[in-house]
Amino acid sequence: METLDTFTMRRRLLAAGLLGMVAHPLSALAADPWPTKPVKLIVPFPAGGPVDSTARIVGQRLGEIWKTSVVIDNRAGAGGTIGAAIAAKEAPDGYGLFVGSIHHAVNVTLMGNLSYDIERDFAPISFAALFPVFVCAHPSVPANNIRELIAYAKKGERPLAYGSSGNGGGTHLAGELFNMEAGTKLQHIPYKGSGPAMNDLLGGQVQLMFSDAPTALQHIKSGRIKVLGVASRQRSHMLPDVPTVAESGLPGYEAYSWAALFAPANTPKPILDRINADFNVATNDPAVRQRLLQAGAEADPGTQEQMRQRLHAEIEKWRKVIKTAGITAG
């Protein structure tokens, strides 16, 4: 027969165990299997663009790793701010993630008064991919590399015009950064999208374009436009014979667009660690990398801390460009 002392002791041990669970709810959560249901990726741009394509390609592989569905939820509008505001309010449980882009580093300065803070309200998981920017010229421009372009731009009576996908976009900022570092006065002509800008480059209405890969590659390969350099730090796998801007006349210059994966702030670290590890597996898969290249993206994963530092550096870099060039949203 159980004694009173033993019975009392067992009750105390049971109570202590229950109190431990209450005192450490995140530990209990971390012990649960994850994921147990579909995971949503909020993409703040329309279907078909580079950020959306990256999310779909990597998301498919993640679904295979996690053995559950990865659902793409497009919430486009207002330069990516609508989707970001929605994603910031998702439950911090790993089931509602956010695919951000260079816009979310730029909008901090360009727009201001946002309903969310990209650094405070989100936990960085990993950069996903970078989208190379190619410096392209109409065949009539008598320059075949960056050094020659800078010299020609400085001696011309009229400033060379470059088209972009829109005011304050990545291809606009790449041109203004070029002006700042090269000492040129290229004239910016904004368009409503990369397609119309490229059409005018092909027709000679503008002489230059800092273009994303999907827009430029077919025309570069057909010889309808010249490519003078790639703006990223390293040569692109898409056109490995094209030198970087930095190595061909403008040391230190670097500009590219990117996509990255975030979770809402306060998501438990064990879940963040799991997502980061699996995300790196997915983006290092040779088949995934090849599909990304075909979509104009280059896989670029890393650690959570690397992403945090890089995001902050991007915010500060483009803040300087926006303020120096006097760029406003519109």
Q: Please write the tens of the pLDDT for every residue from 27-74.
A: 444 446 899 999 999 999 999 999 999 999 999 999 999 999 999 999
pLDDT, tens digit (0-9, with 9 covering 90-100), for 130-177: 999 999 999 999 999 999 999 999 998 899 999 999 999 899 999 999
Q: Residue 6: which pLDDT band, with cuts at 50, 70 and 90?
A: very low
Q: Which domain holds residue 145?
A: 132-248
Q: Write down the pLDDT at residue 112.
A: 80
Number of domains in the chain: 2
Q: What is the mean pLDDT of residues 210-236?
A: 96
* Same domain, residue pair 235 and 137: yes
Is 9 contained in some domain?
A: no
CATH number reported for the structural domain that contains residue 177 in this entry:
3.40.190.10
| HEC secondary structure over the chain | CCCHHHHHHHHHHHHHHHHHHHHCHHHHHHHCCCCCCCEEEEECCCCCCHHHHHHHHHHHHHHHHHCCCEEEEECCCHHHHHHHHHHHCCCCCCCEEEEEEHHHHHHHHHCCCCCCCCCCCEEEEEEEEEEEEEEEECCCCCCCCHHHHHHHHHHCCCCCEEEECCCCCHHHHHHHHHHHHHCCCCEEEECCCHHHHHHHHHHCCCCEEEEEHHHHHHHHHHCCCEEEEECCCCCCCCCCCCCECHHHCCCCCCCEEEEEEEEECCCCHHHHHHHHHHHHHHHCCHHHHHHHHHCCCEECCCCHHHHHHHHHHHHHHHHHHHHHHCCCCC
In order of 16, 90, 199, 247, the CA distances from 175 in angstroms are 64, 36, 18, 17
The residue from 231, 248, 265 where one domain ends is 248
Q: Residue 330: which pLDDT band, with cuts at 50, 70 and 90?
A: low
CATH number reported for the structural domain that contains residue 274 in this entry:
3.40.190.150
* Same domain, residue pair 44 and 108: yes
Q: Write down the pLDDT at residue 162.
A: 98
Q: What is the mean pLDDT of residues 226-251?
A: 96
Percent of the chain with pLDDT over 70: 90
Is 305 contained in some domain?
A: yes
* Same domain, residue pair 80 and 110: yes
Is 49 contained in some domain?
A: yes
Q: Residue 18: which pLDDT band, with cuts at 50, 70 and 90?
A: very low
Is 50 contained in some domain?
A: yes
The residue from 218, 248, 278 where one domain ends is 248
Greater confidence (209 vs 29) lies with 209
Is 330 contained in some domain?
A: no
* Same domain, residue pair 231 and 144: yes
Q: Write down the pLDDT at residue 23.
A: 40
Is 29 contained in some domain?
A: no
Q: Write down the pLDDT at residue 179.
A: 98
* Same domain, residue pair 232 and 272: no
* Same domain, residue pair 265 and 244: no
pLDDT at 1 over 60: no
Is 10 contained in some domain?
A: no
